[in-house]
């Protein structure tokens, strides 16, 4: 059992992680474009339409969509409502991960694992976002922790309950299949005989197999959007000599995304932890923590799931950081043996944890912001005049804040022109812009004048219009152009 000092540290770290997540959620950041695109599907589609392929190049688990839709129907489409379920999922993931690490690792290993998890900037940020990434993490923690209980006790009854749970969790998280695959393979190969392995224990997976077959019949789960495939193309391996460079770069990216900016340290600690688990007589925990990554990599080889540092591989955070905690314990335990080992422990464990904790503390006063369009849209509503034209370069975010977030507000009598982000001007769009007397240009992300993709658009507008007003925020803005008298 951990002593009082270790227990106090463990509780303090968990509390800090909860506070960091709560403050990010309460900061009420504006929806960014990918988040808004999914939210528009939730708001505009009925429950019966959620099983159909989503619009705006989006994909999300069906039961996750149902919960979001029910929340909107009951409480309205505000940011706090839309992000509430992901926020709760992030808190549960933190608490359950803490309990799992405390029950399965030695005290200092559990402290290290929980600290990296609690202070992960990506886990904090995605925990306050209306996307299913924090749910992916929660599902991974549930399956791996409950699966480890069944594996450690060699209990078929517990494994069957994990199978039943996974058959439901697949509908909340697509990558749950990798966590369940890791649990299943680890459990099956601990069976003492071939017959018991493949004709006994494997039969317990039947509920999960049937659930996957049913899931594959849902159009929204199997739709292959060409735009998404193109966006994730770098997550699939090239089958030539550049494979090794791709593997190194993308694998490092996976670790870096989980614990930016100390991904290289986390990768080393993860490897040390895996080695330590494999040095034990029972290597089951090592396999359980290694297989989710291997299965995801294999899926990338078949073009089924990307392998790269991104939000859709955030579900790998639990196995990575769990093993990372064990690696940290090993280094800290050897720190007193020599000066260079002490320096190594400080470099790979102490300094990264301090950096992550400091980053979390900084976010308490400066929450992470993507595209903060809400204040710009609010000011714009008060300044537009009848028949003004508004060129919208962030259509999904703008539609949410202009029309859907608060339907009680009257919609101004203006001409809305939706341009394609980074696209070329069509002849009709060019004529419409040049013919407008008062033209607002609304964008998010980089300011209009700093965006290379919009530079030609700005030059076209300035041929016949003069800039007279700007509503400029840090990550969003609106500029008013008035047509020249000569034009």
Name the residue ranges covered by the structural domains of the chain: 4-365, 374-483
Nearest to 115 by CA among 10, 24, 21: 10
Q: What is the pTM of this model?
A: 0.93
Centre a 10 Å sphere on the Cβ of residue 408 and count the other Cβ atoms it contains: 4
Q: How many Å apart are CA 82 and CA 72, to the nearest integer?
A: 7
| 261 prior amide bond cis, ω within 30 | yes
What pLDDT shows up at residue 245? 95
Do residues 465 and 487 make contact, with C-beta atoms less than 8 angstroms apart?
A: yes
Strand 389-392, strand 415-418: pairing: parallel
Greatest alpha-carbon pair distance for the chain in Å reads 88
Q: How many Å apart are CA 193 and CA 373, to the nearest integer?
A: 61
Nearest to 442 by CA among 411, 487, 413, 402: 402
176-188 and 156-169 are packed helices; what angle lies between their axes, rounded to 10 degrees? 160
Q: How many Å apart are CA 345 and CA 339, to the nearest integer?
A: 10
Q: How many Å apart are CA 401 and CA 237, to the nearest integer?
A: 39
317-334 and 107-118 are packed helices; what angle lies between their axes, rounded to 10 degrees? 130
**How many CA atoms, within 13 angstroms, populate the side-chain half-sphere of residue 332?**
19
Long-range contacts of 335-343 (CB under 8 A, 24+ apart): none
Strand 438-444, strand 476-483: pairing: antiparallel
Nearest to 364 by CA among 15, 9, 22: 22
What pLDDT shows up at residue 336? 76
Per run of 10 residues, the mean pLDDT along the chain (length 487 residues) is: 69 94 93 93 92 91 96 94 97 97 92 94 94 97 97 90 96 96 89 64 85 89 81 92 94 93 92 93 91 97 93 96 94 80 82 87 82 88 87 89 75 75 67 85 77 74 86 83 73
Q: Which residues of 441-472 are buried (b: 16+ CB within 10 A; e: fewer)?
A: bbbbbebbeebeebeebeeebeebbeeeeebe
HEC profile of 53-121: CCCCCCCCCHHHHHHHHHHHHHHCCCHHHHCHHHHHHHHHHHHHHHHHHHHHCCHHHHHHHHHHHHCCH
CA distances from 101 to 96, 118, 405 (A): 9, 12, 40
At 76-100, the pLDDT tens digits run: 999 999 999 999 999 999 999 999 9
Nearest to 431 by CA among 455, 464, 398, 458: 464
What pLDDT shows up at residue 223? 72
């Amino acid at each position: 059992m951990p002593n009082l000092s270790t227990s106090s540290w463990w509780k303090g770290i968990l509390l800090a992680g909860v506070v960091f997540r709560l403050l990010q959620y309460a900061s009420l950041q504006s929806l960014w474009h990918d988040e808004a695109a999914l939210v528009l599907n939730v708001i505009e589609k009925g429950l019966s339409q959620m099983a159909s392929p989503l619009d705006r190049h989006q994909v999300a688990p069906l039961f996750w969509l149902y919960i979001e839709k029910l929340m909107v129907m009951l409480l309205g489409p505000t940011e706090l409502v839309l992000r509430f379920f992901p926020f709760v999922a992030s808190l549960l993931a933190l608490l359950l991960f803490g309990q799992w690490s405390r029950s399965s690792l030695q005290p200092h290993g559990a402290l290290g694992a929980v600290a990296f998890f609690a202070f992960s900037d990506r886990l904090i940020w995605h925990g306050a976002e209306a996307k299913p990434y924090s749910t992916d993490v929660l599902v991974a923690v549930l399956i791996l922790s409950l699966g480890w209980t069944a594996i450690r006790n060699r209990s078929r009854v517990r494994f069957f309950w994990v199978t039943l749970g996974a058959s439901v969790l697949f509908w909340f998280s697509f990558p749950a299949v990798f966590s369940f695959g890791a649990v299943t393979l680890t459990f099956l190969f601990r069976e003492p005989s071939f017959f018991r392995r493949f004709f006994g224990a494997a039969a317990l997976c039947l509920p999960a197999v049937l659930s996957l077959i049913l899931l594959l019949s849902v159009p929204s789960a199997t739709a292959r959007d060409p735009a998404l495939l193109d966006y994730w193309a770098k997550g699939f391996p090239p089958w030539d000599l550049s494979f090794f460079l791709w593997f190194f770069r993308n694998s490092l990216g996976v670790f870096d995304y989980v614990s930016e900016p100390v991904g290289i340290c986390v990768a080393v600690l993860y490897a040390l932890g895996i080695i330590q688990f494999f040095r034990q007589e029972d290597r089951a925990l090592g396999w359980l923590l290694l297989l989710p990554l291997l299965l995801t990599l294999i899926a990338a080889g078949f073009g089924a799931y990307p392998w790269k540092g991104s939000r859709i591989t955030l579900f790998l955070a639990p196995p990575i950081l769990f093993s990372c905690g064990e690696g940290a314990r090993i280094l800290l335990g050897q720190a007193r043996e020599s000066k260079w080992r002490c320096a190594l422990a400080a470099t790979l464990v102490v300094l990264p944890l301090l950096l992550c904790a400091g980053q979390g503390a900084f976010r308490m006063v400066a929450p992470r912001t993507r595209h903060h369009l809400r204040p710009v849209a609010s000011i714009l509503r008060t300044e537009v005049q009848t028949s003004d034209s508004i060129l919208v370069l962030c259509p999904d975010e703008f539609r949410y804040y202009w029309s859907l977030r608060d339907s009680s507000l009257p919609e101004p009598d203006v001409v809305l022109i939706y341009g394609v982000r980074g696209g070329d001007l069509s002849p009709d769009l060019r004529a419409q812009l040049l013919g407008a007397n008062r033209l607002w240009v609304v964008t998010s992300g980089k300011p209009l004048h700093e965006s290379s993709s919009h530079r030609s658009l700005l030059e076209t507008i300035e041929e016949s219009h003069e800039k007279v007003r700007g509503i400029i925020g840090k990550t969003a803005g609106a500029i008013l152009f008035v047509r020249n008298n000569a034009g």
